[in-house]
Structure 1
Amino acid sequence: MIDWSRVRELCDEIGADDFGEVVELFLAEVEETLDSLPTRMSDANALENALHFLKGSALNLGFSALAQHCQAAERAAAGGDVVGIDPGHVLSIYNMSRKLFLTELPKHMAA
């Protein structure tokens, strides 16, 4: 669900002092985009763009399960198929990932 090697790599790239700020920004931007998903369901292009953003953000911070799901949904939206895309499921994956990330982060960063 979380790619901890990516998390450590990002922390090393930007430094431990700035890492917390990046995490806060990631969570805020992702949550804002997730909140907007239901309103984008009638516009495949807008939905595709939102899912693309979510995928990229998730990959950057190691939220691998979220990134994989967003990639599949992004492909569907690119093909105009929004019927099978469930914003609630995307939110559920994010919430599970977020909880695991915040709970386990201190342990993985200490390693």
Structure 2
Amino acid sequence: MIDWTRVAELRGEIGAEDFDEVAELFLMEVEDTLSQLNDAVNDAPQMQELMHFLKGSALNLGFADLSDMCSKGEENAANEQINVDIASLKNLYAQSRALFETEYAQRFAA
């Protein structure tokens, strides 16, 4: 669910303190974007844009399963097929976030 190698790479690249800020910003932006999904269910270009943003954000922070799901949603929206299961996507995000928050401190304790 979480690509901890990616998390470690990003944390190493930007430093622990900056990583915490990036992670917090990521979580806020993802939640804001998730809240916009219901408005895009009849707008393929908008859904594609939202899925692209979510995919990239998730990939950057190591939320691998979420990134995969968003990639599929982006591809479908690009083909004018808006069949994103928003509830499942939000649930996967919540599970990924909970796992990230629980295990991050254990994995990267100072």
**What displacement does 1:33 show?**
0.1
Q: Which runs of 5+ in 1 are unaligned?
A: none
- d(CA) in 2 for partners of 1:95 and 1:17? 24
In 1, distance between residues paired with 2:69 and 2:90?
11
**Matching residue's letter, 2:103:** E
Q: Which has the higher contact order (CA 8 A, sep 6+)?
A: 1
Question: What TM-score does the superposition give when structure 1 sets the normalisation length?
Answer: 0.96
Q: How far does the alpha carbon of each residue in 1:78-97 deviate from its partner, in whole angstroms, 9 at most, with x for none?
A: 00001x21111110110000
Instruction: Give the fraction of aligned pairs with identical amino acids, expressed as a percent.
Output: 50
**Equivalences, count:** 110
Distance 1:89 1:80 in 2: 20
2:70 pairs with 1:61: no
5 Å-filtered alignment, 1:1-111, equals: 1-82=1-82, 84-110=83-109
Unmatched 5+ stretches in structure 2: none
Give TM-score, length-normalised by structure 2: 0.97
After superposing on structure 2, the runs of 4+ consecutive aligned residues of structure 1 that deviate more than 3 Å are: none
Instruction: Give per-residue Cα distances to partners, 1:42-76, cap 9 Å, x unaligned.
Output: 10000000000000000000000000000011100
Residue type at the aligned position of 1:93: L
1:108 positional shift? 1.6
RMSD: 1.1
